[in-house]
Amino acid sequence: MHIHILGICGTFMGGLAVIARQLGYQVSGSDQNVYPPMSTQLEQQGIQLMNGYCAENLDSNPDVVIIGNALSRGNPEVEEVLNRGLNYVSGPQWLAEHVMHDKWVLGVAGTHGKTTTASMLSWILEHQGFNPGFLIGGIPLNFGISARLGGGPENKSGFFVIEADEYDSAFFDKRSKFVHYKPRTAILNNLEFDHADIFPDLDAIKRQFHHLVRTIPGEGLIISPECDANINDVLAMGCWTPVEHTSINASAQWNVELLKADGSQFSVLFENNQQGIVEWTLTGEHNVYNAISAIAAANHVGILPKDAIAALSQFENVKRRMEVLAKINGVTLYDDFAHHPTAIATTLDGLRKQVGKERIIAIVEPRSNTMRLGIHTETLAKSLANADLAIMYQPQNLDWDLSKLNSYADNIEIYQSLDGIIAKLKVEACAGGHFVLMSNGSFGGIYQRLQEEL
């Protein structure tokens, strides 16, 4: 069978392509931006890549075309698929029908922490010898890849961990991706307003999460934080599955007692009985919540908490999640995949608790669709409170004036060029500190340029 993928260089679609090859299918794909490292990773798998979208890319008459959710009507290759009457499907639907239908699916949903939690859970399963399949929106450093088929003999059984995204499936299927996955074990990490380009308000997102809850078996399990009011609203709409709650320094069934304020050491309790102590290199209460959720999910498939804790002590985090790029002349340079004010706030809070009074400079590119629309102006400004200085990049094509942020905070400076940002950071580097580059994109290549300049 020949599968052709439109939008193949995205993290989700690229991972799907790798899994399709592992199933033995012929795979090709096209994208507007075909460049390393994704292009190299795919070509090494024997996948034919085509740069740009055009009708000629379909001349091989593939058996099925998988269309990514970034593509819409008017795209020349999409139009050709429709005109030729080719068989087409969304990525989530194909994955559900061809990969996950016979596996125990563990889905990780939520506005924040999906990638990290799914990576933790996959590593716990791997550490215990289960050889899980997974598809994750990032690269777990313990694996070095974002997706694999996994499973038992002939890949027909076993566990599959999926980052369960609430974003829509395709231009012809506006349901959230996670509705297709039918998880038996579901982590609902948290819920806030995001994806303002497709959701009109928070209630619309809650409705999609409710649709996910409707697909979870009565013999399955839902894991959620006790104190998240929005998740609790979702569960109040109707829930037919047992729920286990998590908390920090509180009294949920799965509770954590922080032994270090930065979250680098904590005790895990289940029904008030201590299960062990996690000591690791990660920081921030958000990662503590991610960890306790992963431990609870692993427990549901039969992994003892003490064994999950042992696995997490060897967890190496995910690429671009507070990844230390370099330490240069007293400056520690981080790459963080920040895309929402809450993610920015929790990341900087964890770093502040780790480094004390040492200088922190946050350098932010507002690149996600929600950030570009200026939906969270006040919360974005306040999310930077733990930075001694916050540098915001205002590209020419941004839809709102970042100077509005100065109405809510006095530690923010705005720059309209990367050259200006680099020049400022070269001056600030004389005093040392922690420079956190926060973007869910390439940030104009600033990562390498800044290292060279420093």
Tens-digit pLDDT profile for residues 385-420 = 999 999 988 887 777 788 888 888 889 898 889 899
| Domain 99-312 top-level CATH class | alpha beta
Which parts of the chain have pLDDT scores under 70?
35-37, 152-157, 195-196, 368-375
Tokens representing 343 are 């993610």
Q: What is the pLDDT of residue 35?
A: 67
Q: What is the pLDDT of residue 156?
A: 46
Whether the CB-CB separation of 354 and 178 falls below 8 Å is answered with no
Q: What is the pLDDT of residue 113?
A: 85
Domain ranges for the chain: 2-90, 99-312, 323-453
Question: Which residues does 412 contact at the CB level (< 8 Å), separation at least 6?
Answer: 381, 384, 390, 391, 392, 405, 406
Q: What is the pLDDT of residue 98?
A: 95
Tokens representing 99 are 């990969």
Architecture in CATH of 2-90: 3-Layer(aba) Sandwich (3.40)
To the nearest 5 percent, what fractions of the chain are helix, strand and coil? 35, 25, 40
Q: How many CB atoms lie within 10 A of CB 210?
A: 16
Q: What is the pLDDT of residue 33?
A: 77
- Name the CATH superfamily housing domain 323-453: Mur ligase, C-terminal domain (3.90.190.20)
Q: How many CB atoms lie within 10 A of CB 153?
A: 7
Alpha-carbon dihedral sign for residues 163, 24, 175, 194: positive
Q: Which of 12, 207, 204 is nearest to 91 (CA)?
A: 12
Helices (H), 330-417: 341-355, 369-372, 377-383
Helix H or strand E segment including 61:
none
Return d(Cα 160, Cα 153) in angstroms, integer: 14
Chain centroid to Cα 387, Å, comes to 23
Residue 109 sits at the vertex; the CA angle it makes with 105 and 110, to the nearest 5 degrees, is: 170
Phi first, then psi: what are they for 156, rounded to 5°? -100, 0
